[in-house]
Chains A and B, each alone.
Chain A
Amino acid sequence: MINRDMLKNVLETYGPSGHEQRISEVIKGYLNGCCDEIYNDTLGNLIAHKKGTSGKKVMLSAHMDQIGLIAVDIDENGFIRVSNVGGVNPTITIARDVVFENGTKGVVHFETEKKKAGEATLAELFVDIGASSKSEAEKCVNIGDMAVYAAHYTDMGNRISCGAMDNRICCALLITIMQNLKTEHDVYAVFTVQEEVGLRGAGAAAYAIDPDLNINLDVTTCGDMPKAAPMSTGLGRGAAIKVMDSSVIVPECVRRFLVDTAEEKGITYQMEVLRGGGTDTAAVQKTKSGILAGCVSVPTRYIHSPVETIDMRDAENAVALFLAALEKKTRIENRT
């Protein structure tokens, strides 16, 4: 059901935290015609609203920002010093190609005098954009500009690898969900900003929408690689229904609603307990007087690297789970 050309386009579009305008426009393009209104709020969250008749508001959300590097200094020889935007691993970043918003390409390396690659800190990394002087570099990059890992979309059949899979896979899912939605509820699809720097956008959107229920979509880590840290989730085992992570505990009633839906429709699912990391669900849950919120995750290997890898069958299951859940008329209530 998920269109792979659309997925590829969404994965390859530039959009680190705080600089989501391009990706927002691309997503908007796929939603025209299947929503009643579509707009950006002050912080840049993209909100697509499809009106319903049940009187209940459901907010679906997926963050559209990606991790990146921000230029903080340019030296006399045109090398660009960077800081991290979100959780960037310096070792993984060394010897990678990156791209700035205006298309300027660069490669990342580090100060080799005293350290090995595995020991270098981010402050010891620099981006080489092929400039031979500061003035030449400044024609392409200014302090404050952000770079992202260059996208290398790798189709391996059922499994796909690319940078920005966190969280563009879920943006693609949310687009697909909105395109195929059959529901009586008032649905707001929110593509949030600045999740990677601390769940900054989602709360503001939830505050304005004030939904009865929020179900978020994000990626989660896997434990099925050689000697990986123990983790129940793995590729190909279905859509992951979040129990908790370090930012949120999903209320039992929301989790139960999702599990029941999957069981009823025979949708493959797995339960997710994420050891570290957080997601927008946490920010939404604590907005105003509290909002019922849950999360469905797409299991992803090598998160926050340029080779984040997912299984499309998990993604398809997640779409099916959302479409089935939204068709239901069940009331979700917190009860003991």
Chain B
Amino acid sequence: MLQRLEELTNLCGVSGDEGSVRAYIKEQAAPYADEMWVDNMGNLFVHKKGNGKKIVVCAHMDEVGMMVRGIRDDGLLVYQAPDIDAGVVVSKRVLIGKNKVPGVIGAKAIHLQTDEEFEKIMPHEKLYIDIGAKDKADAEKHVKKGEYICFDTKFERFGDGLIRAKALDDRTGCAIILEMLKQDYDCDFYAAFTVQEERGLRGASVVAYALEGDLTLIIEGTTANDMPKVPSHKSVTTVGDGAAITIMDARTITLPKMVNALKETAQKHDIPYQMRKGTKGGTDAGVIHKAGKGSITGGISVPCRYIHSTISVCSEQDFVNAFRLADAFIKDKKYEEVLS
């Protein structure tokens, strides 16, 4: 499972450009799938046929990233970076377009900055990407406007059982679901790997209509704000404290019976868990639960520090425990209590 997380996080899959992630998952899931299809938006569905309730597990394939907006006369690229903190991107390595043209995000050097500029975070508009081109004509040989820009961060293990990689949100979910596809569950089992979650739960908005599942488990990488000087009530989750169970975020309130069922499952199997304390953010559950006639959703997450940046950090144990919790919930048929 860790091996697959490494391979998944090293792939580029910015929202709208999930092709390589989808191809990887398709190949990995093929041996276990009864049927598999990609819908018009690019969502990948994997079906393992079975009797009884229709249970869906869902993870999004996309990651945050940027796009080439233009090429300057001096060969430097201007870019679009929705919802990415400009403070984290300076001097970071990126890969551009299908050919993975390497680049680096540049800014005015410290020697040239005014005192005022030095004090502030430089906005994206003042940053640029250097691909080593000598001028516009040279740059145009390698990149085009509208090409995707992905952070060039390689998966590594470090510290005491920690992982640092990009796109842990939500390749952790993708890797967990791939592991779940190997299991035998006594239900009609679907995996939905969605697109464009980071741009507003767009892919998932059609998932509920395609599958009409009885219950959907969303497996996510979520915010861990367990940083120095952050008080406990603002930490959201803590890395190493176990799989996080979602109670409420900005898009979904998990029904109490679903929260309790996940808690009871964790307790029964001695799976370390924590309650996700934050009420902000959103997951694919936000659009799935209220689609059509409405359905039950639940959320299990892997706490990740520095989410939505060039690099994030999670714990191997939390990752494994998130799998164990999702797996036990379905193996135990705990969903039957929620759906009764």
Residue positions of A touching B, CB distance < 8 A: 17-19, 21, 41-45, 70, 72-73, 75, 81, 83-85, 123, 142-144, 194, 197-198, 200-201, 203-205, 207-208
B253/A17 in contact, CB under 8 A: yes
Q: Are B255 and A18 in contact (CB under 8 A)?
A: yes
- Taking a contact as CB atoms under 8 Å apart, the answer to whether A44 and B255 are in contact is yes
Interface mask (B222-237 → A, CB under 8 Å = 1, otherwise 0):
0000000000111100
Q: A43-B290, A143-B275, A144-B248 are in contact. List 13 more A-B contacts (CB 8 A).
A: A18-B254, A18-B255, A21-B256, A41-B294, A42-B296, A44-B255, A70-B279, A75-B232, A81-B232, A85-B248, A123-B233, A144-B259, A197-B253
B234, B235, B251, B293: the one within 8 Å of A42 (CB): B293
Closest to B279 in A: A83
B290 touches A41 (CB 8 A): no
Closest residue of B by beta carbon distance from A209:
B293
> Smallest CB–CB gap between A294 and chain B, Å?
22
Q: What residues of A have a CB within 8 angstroms of the CB of B166 in the complex?
A: none
Is the CB of B75 closer than 8 A to any CB of chain A? no
A194 to B250, CA, bound (A): 12
Contact check: which of B248, B254, B294 meets A204 at CB < 8 Å? B294
Confirm or deny: B292 has a beta carbon within 8 angstroms of a beta carbon on chain A. Answer: yes
Scan B277-319; emit 1 where CB is below 8 A from any A CB, else 0. 1110000000001111111100000000000000000000000
Partner of A201, one of B248, B275, B277, B290: B290
Task: Tell yes or no: B247 within 8 A of A by CB.
Answer: yes
Which residues of B lie under 8 Å from residue A84 when comparing CB positions?
Answer: 279
Residues in B whose Cβ lies below 8 Å from that of A123? 233-234
Please list the 6 inter-chain residue pairs (A to B) with the smallest Cβ-Cβ separation, ordered nearest first: A18-B253, A204-B294, A73-B233, A81-B233, A144-B247, A43-B294
Binding site for A on B (CB under 8 A): 232-235, 247-248, 251, 253-256, 259, 275, 277-279, 289-296
Main secondary structure of the interface of B (DSSP, over half): loop
How distant is the Cα of A143 from the Cα of B278 in the complex, in angstroms?
A: 11
A204 touches B292 (CB 8 A): yes
Cβ-defined contact, B293 with A73, below 8 A: no
Given contacts A18-B253, A18-B255, A75-B233, contact A42 B294 (CB under 8 A): yes
- What is the bound-complex CA distance between A143 and B233, given in angstroms? 10
Chain A positions within 8 Å of B295 at CB level = 42
- Given contacts A42-B294, A204-B294, A70 and B255 within 8 Å (CB-CB): no
Q: How far apart sit A203 and B288, CA to CA, in the bound complex (Å)?
A: 12
| CB-based nearest B residue for A19 | B256
Residues from chain B with a CB closer than 8 A to the CB of A83 are 248, 278-279
User: Min CB distance, A302 to chain B, in Å?
Assistant: 25
Is there contact, CB below 8 Å, between B248 and A208?
no
How far apart sit A218 and B290, CA to CA, in the bound complex (Å)? 21
Residues A208 and B277 in contact, CB atoms below 8 Å apart: no
Judge whether A207 and B293 touch: CB under 8 Å.
Answer: yes
Taking the closest CB of chain B, its distance from the CB of A67, in whole angstroms, is: 12
Query: How close is A134's CB to chain B, nearest CB, in angstroms?
Result: 10
Chain B residues within an 8 Å CB radius of A144: 247-248, 256, 259, 275
Bound-complex Cα distance A204 to B291 (A): 7
* CB-nearest residue of chain A to B294: A204
CB neighbours (8 Å) of A45 from chain B are 294
Residue of B nearest to A197 (CB): B253
Q: Which residues of B contact A73 (CB under 8 A)?
A: 232-233, 235, 277
List the A residue with the shortest CB-CB distance to B248. A70
Q: Which residue of B lies closest to A43 (CB)?
A: B294
Could you name 15 residue pairs across A and B whose Cβ atoms are closer than 8 Å? A18-B256, A21-B256, A43-B289, A75-B233, A84-B279, A123-B233, A143-B277, A144-B247, A144-B275, A194-B253, A200-B253, A204-B291, A205-B294, A208-B293, A208-B294
Q: Which residue of A lies closest to B247 (CB)?
A: A144
- Contact in complex: A204, B275 (CB < 8 Å): no
CA of A201 to CA of B252 in the docked complex: distance in angstroms?
A: 11
Alpha-carbon distance A215/B165, docked complex (angstroms): 52
Q: Looking across the interface, which residue of chain A has its beta carbon closest to that of B280? A: A83
Contact B248 A18 (CB under 8 A): yes
| Distance in Å: Cβ of B216 to nearest Cβ of chain A | 12
- Looking at the assembled complex, report how far the CB atom of A133 sits from the nearest CB atom of chain B, in whole angstroms: 15
Measured between C-beta atoms, what is the minimum distance from A68 to chain B in Å? 11
Residues on the B chain within 8 Å of A194, using CB? 253
The CA-CA distance from A194 to B285 in the complex, in Å, is 15
Of the residues B279, B294, B296, contact of A72 by C-beta under 8 Å: B279
Docked Cα-Cα span, A151 to B279, in Å, equals 25
On whether A201 and B279 interact (CB within 8 A), knowing A18-B253, A70-B247, the answer reads: no
In the complex, residue of chain B having the shortest beta-carbon distance to the beta carbon of A75: B232
Contact B247 A143 (CB under 8 A): yes
Complex interface: chain B residues within 8 A of A201 (CB): 290, 294
Residue of A nearest to B295 (CB): A42
What are the residues of chain A within 8 A of B259 when measuring CB–CB? 144
Q: Bound state CA distance, A42 and B338, in angstroms? A: 10
State whether B290 touches A204 (Cβ < 8 A).
yes
Of the candidates B251, B277, B295, the one having the most CB atoms from chain A within 10 angstroms of its own CB is B277
Min C-beta distance of A5 to chain B, whole Å: 29
Task: Flag if B233 contacts A207 (CB, 8 Å).
Answer: no
> How long is the Cα–Cα vector from A200 to B255 in the complex, in angstroms?
13
Given A42-B294, A203-B290: A72 in contact with B253 (beta carbons within 8 A): no
Inter-chain contacts of B289 with A (CB < 8 A): 43, 200
Q: Is the CB of B292 within 8 A of A207?
A: yes
